[in-house]
C-alpha cells in the first residue's frame, strides 16, 4: 500500500489535497500543516477538521531542519525516505521541495498542488516572471529528482493548456462536487477579494491607484441593483477595504476557511460571482456551474500586465466573462 505525505501551507492547497486523497485513492497518509507568519493556520485547521483529516501542525523551521546542505546530501546519498508520494504546493516553492526531498523514497512521486494562477504562467511557459533565485532552486530540484528517479506530477485544476514539458493530472474536483447539495441559488453578487499589496506588486500600480480602481469596481457592482457580499481575503489586513464596503453598503466578512469549503459547508450558491482574477473564480466555476462569473481587470499597458491578461484570456475561454475598467474615475 502506497504511503503519502502532504505538506500544506495555504487553504487552496488544502482543498486540492483533499480532492487528491480521493483522486489517488490514498488511505495511508500524513498531513503536515505548516505554520508560517501569514496567519492562515485557523483556516487550514478548520478545513482539515471539516473533512476529518488528521494532521500535525509544524513550524516552517521543521521543513528547514538540518539546513539545505544536509537536505541535498541526504537526497543524493540516501533512498530510505518514508513516503512513496509527497504532495506540496506552488511550483515556485522549489527551495521548500528541496528540503522535503529526503522524505521521498527513491522512484517515488513528488506531486505539486495548485496555489494560485501562477500554474497558468508555468503552463504558458511564462517563467520569465520568476526570480533568478527561484529559477536556480528549480534547477537544483530537477537535478535531485533525476538522481533519485523521482516522478514529478502537477495536479492542477487548470486544464486545456497543453504542455509537453510537464506531466499533468487534472484536478476535476469531483469529490468536492459530490459534497455540494442541490441548493437554490441566492440572487446576490459575491465578490471575491484579493490582497492589495500583492495585487499592486504583480501589475505595477500604486496602492492609491488600486483603491481608485476598486472604487470603480464597487460602482459597477452597485449599479447592478443587487445585494453584494464582499469576501475578504484571509491575508487582507487593510482597513481601507472594509471602509469602502461600508461606504457602498456592501456586506463583508472573512471566512475562517477557504471560500470553496465555506460554500460547500453552508450550501451557499450565489447567482453572480465576481473577482479580480482570483483563482477562486476558476475553482468555484467547477463547483457552481450554473452561477454567472465575471472577472474584472484594470485597463493597463499590455506589456505591463502580460501575465494578468493571459490568465484573464484563459478564464474567458472557460466561460468567465472579462470586464476591463479604468483605474481613474470613470
pLDDT of residue 243: 95
Q: What gap in Å lies between CA 128 and CA 154, rounded to an integer?
A: 19
Three-class secondary structure of residue 221 per DSSP: helix
> How far from the centroid of its chain's Cα atoms is residue 244's Cα?
26
By the 8 A CB rule, do 168 and 122 touch?
A: no
pLDDT at 69 over 90: no
- pLDDT, tens digit (0-9, with 9 covering 90-100), for 163-221: 888 999 999 999 998 888 766 678 899 999 999 998 998 888 999 999 999 999 999 99
Instruction: Give the number of other Cβ atoms within 10 Å of residue 218's Cβ.
Output: 20
- pLDDT, tens digit (0-9, with 9 covering 90-100), for 231-263: 998 778 778 999 999 999 999 998 888 899 889
Of 77-81, 164-168, 321-325, minimum mean pLDDT range: 77-81
Instruction: Give the number of other Cβ atoms within 10 Å of residue 142's Cβ.
Output: 13
Domain residue spans in the chain?
4-177, 180-325
Q: Which residues pair with 153 in a beta bridge?
A: 111
Residues in the chain: 330
Question: Residue 297: how many CA atoms within 13 Å on its side-chain side?
Answer: 26
Q: What gap in Å lies between CA 195 and CA 200, rounded to an integer?
A: 9
The secondary structure of residue 232, as a DSSP letter, is -
By the 8 A CB rule, do 150 and 108 touch?
A: yes
Fold of the 180-325 domain: Rossmann fold (3.40.50)
Rounded average pLDDT over 73-81 = 70
Q: Do domains 4-177 and 180-325 have the same CATH topology?
A: yes
Question: Residue 329: how many CA atoms within 13 Å on its side-chain side?
Answer: 0
Please give the mean pLDDT across all residues of the chain: 88
**Sequence-ordered alpha helix ranges (H) in 149-287:** 174-178, 196-203, 207-222, 239-248, 259-266, 279-287
Percent of the chain with pLDDT over 70: 93
Place 325 in a pLDDT band, splitting at 50, 70 and 90: very high
CA-derived radius of gyration, the chain: 20
Rounded average pLDDT over 86-115 = 87
Fold of the 4-177 domain: Rossmann fold (3.40.50)
By the 8 A CB rule, do 53 and 31 touch?
A: yes
Q: Kind and range of the H or E element at 100?
A: helix 94-100
Cell of 116: 494560485
For the whole model, what pTM was predicted?
Answer: 0.88
- Residues whose CB is less than 8 angstroms from the CB of residue 102 and which lie 6 or more positions away in sequence, other chains included: 71, 74, 75, 78, 81
pLDDT of residue 305: 86
Cell of 292: 454567472
pLDDT of residue 72: 73
pLDDT of residue 184: 62
Amino acid at each position: 500500500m502506497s504511503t503519502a505525505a502532504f505538506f500544506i501551507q495555504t487553504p487552496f492547497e488544502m482543498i486540492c489535497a483533499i480532492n487528491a486523497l480521493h483522486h489517488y485513492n490514498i488511505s495511508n497518509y500524513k498531513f503536515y500543516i505548516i505554520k508560517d507568519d501569514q496567519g492562515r493556520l485557523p483556516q487550514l485547521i478548520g478545513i482539515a477538521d471539516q473533512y476529518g483529516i488528521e494532521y500535525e501542525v509544524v513550524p516552517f523551521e521543521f521543513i528547514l531542519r538540518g539546513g539545505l546542505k544536509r537536505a541535498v546530501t541526504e537526497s543524493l546519498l540516501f533512498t530510505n525516505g518514508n513516503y512513496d508520494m509527497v504532495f506540496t504546493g506552488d511550483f515556485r516553492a522549489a527551495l521548500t521541495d528541496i528540503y522535503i526531498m529526503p522524505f521521498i523514497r527513491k522512484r517515488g512521486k513528488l506531486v505539486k498542488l495548485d496555489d494560485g494562477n501562477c500554474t497558468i504562467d508555468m503552463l504558458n511557459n511564462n517563467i520569465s516572471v520568476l526570480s533568478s533565485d527561484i529559477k536556480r532552486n528549480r534547477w537544483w530540484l530537477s537535478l535531485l529528482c533525476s538522481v533519485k528517479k523521482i516522478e514529478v506530477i502537477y495536479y492542477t485544476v487548470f486544464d486545456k493548456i497543453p504542455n509537453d514539458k510537464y506531466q499533468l493530472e487534472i484536478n476535476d474536483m469531483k469529490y468536492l462536487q459530490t459534497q455540494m447539495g442541490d441548493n437554490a441559488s441566492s440572487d446576490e453578487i459575491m465578490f471575491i477579494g484579493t490582497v492589495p499589496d500583492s495585487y499592486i506588486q504583480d501589475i505595477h500600480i500604486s496602492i492609491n491607484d488600486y483603491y481608485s480602481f476598486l472604487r470603480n469596481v464597487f460602482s459597477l457592482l452597485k449599479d447592478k441593483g443587487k445585494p453584494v457580499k464582499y469576501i475578504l481575503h484571509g491575508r487582507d489586513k487593510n482597513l481601507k477595504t472594509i471602509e469602502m464596503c461600508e461606504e457602498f453598503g456592501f456586506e463583508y466578512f472573512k471566512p475562517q476557511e477557504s471560500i470553496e469549503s465555506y460554500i460547500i459547508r453552508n450550501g451557499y450558491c450565489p447567482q453572480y460571482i465576481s473577482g479580480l482574477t482570483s483563482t477562486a473564480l476558476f475553482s468555484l466555476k467547477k463547483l457552481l456551474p450554473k452561477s454567472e462569473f465575471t472577472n474584472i481587470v484594470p485597463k493597463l499597458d499590455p506589456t505591463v500586465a502580460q501575465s494578468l491578461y493571459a490568465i484573464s484570456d484563459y478564464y474567458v475561454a472557460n466561460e468567465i466573462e472579462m470586464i476591463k475598467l479604468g483605474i481613474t474615475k470613470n
